[in-house]
Amino acid sequence: MEVSIDDVVALLDGRIEGASGVALTGFASIEDAGLGELTFLANPAYEAQLYKTTASAVLVPESLKLSAPVNSGTTLIRVDDPYVAMAKLMQAFANSVDRDPKLLIDPTAVIHPDAKIGAGVKVGALSHIGAGAFIDKNSTIESGVIVGQQAQLGEGCQIGPRSIIGRGCVLGNGCILQAGAIVGADGFGFAPTDSGYEKIPQLGNVILGDDCEVGAGTTIDRATLGSTVLGRGVKLDNLIQVAHNVRIGDHTVIAAQTGIAGSTTIGERCMIGGQVGINGHIHIADGSKVAAKSGITASVIKPNQTLQGNPARPIKEHQRTQLALRSIIRNFETKQD
C-alpha cells in the first residue's frame, strides 16, 4: 500500500488539518503507529495517545477539541465517524490487492465442468466446486472450501477456509464466511414413530442477502421446505446455530453462542447478545435488543424494546424483579442470623 493522504481525504470526504501530500504506506493501532502509517481515534478513552503518536495521519472526529498539540509530523483527518471511515479505508485496501490470473485457481482445487466461475475469482487449495455452481466475479474461495451443486455466490464474496456452502444455497454480493462456517446443513427434522424417529428430508435451501457476514463455526440450517433467509447486512458472530426456516431481518446482529430454534422470525436491526436462547415458531419485533444469556420463550410484539432475563422481559421490569429478590434474600438471611 502507498497512497497520498489527499486521496484518503477525498475518499472519505474528510477535512485535512496539517500537512498535505504525505505518503501513507500502511495501517496501525494508535499505540503502535509510526512514520508512514495511518491510524484512528474513535474511543475518547484513547485520546491521550493522540498527543503521543508519531503516525503520519490520524482519523479523528470532526467534533474533537484538542486539549494539547499533536506531533509536528502528524496530520489529522477530520471525519464524522473515524471507526466507519477506517473500515472503508481497509475495505478499499483489501479490494485493491492484485489478482494474477495465472495464480487464481490452485492446481489441487476440483471444479466441476458444469460450474461457472467469474473473472477474478480465486479458488484455494483442495477446494471443491460442485456441478452447476456459480461464483460471481472477484470472489475468494480459501483452502478446503466445499461449494455444493447449484449453489450461487454473488460478486466479491469471501469464503474462509474449510467453510461449506450446501447444494442450492444462495449468497448475495459481498458476503463473508469466516473459517468453518456452514451454510446449508440439514435442518433438525425427525418424525417420532413407535420404533424411534423417521428423518424428514430437508429439501429447502439458505438465502443470504448482500453484505452478510457469518462467523467461524456458525451453522445455518437449510429449510425443510422453502428457504432459511438472512436479510441484507446481517452479521452473525462465531458459534451460532440458526435452525431451519428461520428468517432474520436486514441489519440484525447476533453475538456468539446464540441458538435460534426453527421457523422463528427475527425483525430488522435487532441486537442480540451472546448465549441467548430463542424458542421456535415465534416472532421478534424490529429493533429489539436482547441482553446476553437471556431466553426468548414467546413472541416479542412491541418494537424497539430492550429485554433481559429468562424468560426475557423488558429490562426495567427484570431489574426491579432482581432487586426485589435480593431484598427478600437479605431479609431471610437476617432472620436466620
pLDDT at residue 98, rounded to an integer: 52
Domains in the chain with CATH codes: 3-95 (3.40.1390.10), 106-316 (2.160.10.10)
The alpha carbon dihedral of 18, 19, 21, 25 has a sign of negative
Residues carrying an active site annotation = 244
- 8 Å CB contact between 236 and 216: no
> What's the longest Cα–Cα distance across the chain?
80
Of 210, 260, 264, the residue nearest 235 (C-alpha): 210
User: Tell me, what's the pLDDT at 95?
Assistant: 65
Question: What type of residue is 120?
Answer: G
How does DSSP assign 104-137, residue by residue? SB-TT-EE-TT-EE-TT-EE-TT-EE-TT-EE-T
DSSP result, 256-302: TT-EE-TT-EE-TT-EE-TT-EE-SS-EE-TT-EE-TT-EE-S-B-S
pTM over 0.95: no
**What is the rounded CA–CA span in Å between residue 266 and residue 252?**
8
Amino acid occupying residue 110? V
Q: How far is CA 228 from CA 85, 177, 181, 263, in A?
A: 33, 16, 15, 8
Integer Cα distance of 286 and 266 in angstroms: 7
DSSP annotation of 7 reads H
Q: Which three cell numbers stand for residue 31?
A: 499505540
pLDDT tens for each residue of the chain, 337 residues long: 689 999 999 999 999 999 989 999 999 999 999 999 999 999 999 999 999 999 999 999 999 999 999 999 999 999 999 999 999 998 887 766 555 555 699 999 999 999 999 999 999 999 999 999 999 999 999 999 999 999 999 999 999 999 999 999 999 999 999 999 999 999 999 999 999 999 999 999 999 999 999 999 999 999 999 999 999 999 999 999 999 999 999 999 999 999 999 999 999 999 999 999 999 999 999 999 999 999 999 999 999 999 999 999 999 898 888 888 888 888 878 877 6
- Angle between helix axes 82-95 and 5-12 (nearest 10 degrees) is 110
Cis preceding-peptide flag for 311 (omega within 30 of 0): yes
pLDDT for 103: 62
